Amino acid sequence: MAKISITMDDKLLCNVDCYAASNFMSRSGVIGLACNKLLQDNAVANALVSLSAAMQKIAESNTIDEETKVLLADVEAVARLLKG
């Protein structure tokens, strides 16, 4: 496991510490959880953009080509990841 040093606003750090204490977590645990949440949210947003593009392409062409199948597979992979 890597050890890092970060700079954080005092008020944000206080909020992190309060959350950690009230949820029986470490400061590192809260920061790790927040990072994972941010990355998951970004993956979902990207998957929705891909899904929208795939649906538009299917609607316009009335077919599903290989590129669109790849986009749909990527969206499905994100959905499986989120489902657990």
User: 3 in a domain, yes or no?
Assistant: no
Question: What is the per-residue burial (b if ≥16 Cβ within 10 Å, else e) of 19-53?
Answer: ebeeeeeeeeebbeeeeeeeeeeeeeeebeebbee
User: 77 in a domain, yes or no?
Assistant: yes
Domain encompassing residue 19: 10-83
User: 52 in a domain, yes or no?
Assistant: yes
Residues 28-83: tens digit of each pLDDT: 999 999 999 999 999 889 888 988 988 998 999 999 999 889 888 988 888 888 78
CA 25 remoteness from chain centre: 21
pLDDT of residue 17: 98
Q: Which residue has the higher pLDDT, 26 or 53?
A: 26
pLDDT of residue 8: 97
User: 51 in a domain, yes or no?
Assistant: yes
**Residue 60 CB coordination number (10 Å):** 8
User: 78 in a domain, yes or no?
Assistant: yes
User: 5 in a domain, yes or no?
Assistant: no
**Gap between the Cα atoms of 21 and 45, Å rounded:** 31
Q: Give the count of domains, the chain.
A: 1
pLDDT of residue 75: 86
**Gap between the Cα atoms of 33 and 52, Å rounded:** 29
How many residues are there in the chain? 84
